[in-house]
A and B are shown apart, each in its own frame.
Chain A
Amino acid sequence: EIVMTQSPATLSVSPGERATLSCRASQSVSSNLAWYQQKPGQAPRLLIYGASTRATGIPARFSGSGSGTEFTLTISSLQSEDFAVYYCQQYNNWWTFGQGTKVEIK
């Protein structure tokens, strides 16, 4: 099983600042990596697939990068609606999620 490890567990950021979230895979997943956003009481929402391609309707302030075992989700200028939990997921070998990073207001 491929283990996905996200860091940090919690990220405190002020509105308008940049947020950088990391995701590491226990073995290479190529570019078969997605990022999801989940707000309290809501289902997850796909943000990024293929490590760097934004899903339909996702604002340009969200960007993904990386390949192999190291991945990054960057939110260039945090808006109030971006405070949420973010999960990475690999789909190279079955499917596994990271444990999540909570982005909270500083």
Chain B
Amino acid sequence: EVQLVESGGGLVKPGGSLRLSCAASGFTFSSYSMNWVRQAPGKGLEWVSSISSSSSYIYYADSVKGRFTISRDNAKNSLYLQMNSLRAEDTAVYYCARTRTGDAFDIWGQGTMVTVSS
């Protein structure tokens, strides 16, 4: 079964850091670009970051550029999001999602909640 499972969410104080992980199974992880998408409570979807299959190309939304770092380990079938200098507005459910060869996001994890609050 094709599956993505996120972990690492939690409660963190403003200015703090958190590292999210996404474990992939059921497909050849190293062949796909991957993404992080977030959703603030009661709000819509916001694309956060993308990484190509070999990590050659990396993209960030302006809202997180300079604070978040996306990475992957193809040997471990895992995607990561290092989040630093967290702000209250980063509070959201964070989803990892697979890019369907060059276009839409076809597989999504169940999400992990990140709460930034003092």
**Which residues from chain A sit less than 8 Å from chain B, CB to CB?**
1, 32, 34, 36, 38, 42-46, 49-50, 55, 87, 89, 91, 94-100
**Which residues from chain B sit less than 8 Å from chain A, CB to CB?**
35, 37, 44-47, 50, 59, 62, 95, 97, 100, 103-106, 108-111
List 10 A-B residue pairs with CB atoms under 8 Å apart, sorted by A's residue number: A34-B105, A43-B108, A43-B109, A49-B103, A49-B106, A55-B106, A87-B45, A89-B47, A95-B47, A97-B46
Closest B residue to A47 using CB positions: B104
| Beta-carbon contact of B108 and A44 below 8 Å | yes
Number of A-B contacts (CB under 8 A): 55
Whether A95 touches B50, Cβ cut-off 8 Å, given contacts A44-B45, A44-B95, A50-B103, is: yes
**Cβ of A2 to closest chain B Cβ, rounded Å:** 11
Closest B residue to A55 using CB positions: B106
A65 to B14, CA, bound (A): 44
**Cβ of B14 to closest chain A Cβ, rounded Å:** 26
**Cβ of B7 to closest chain A Cβ, rounded Å:** 15
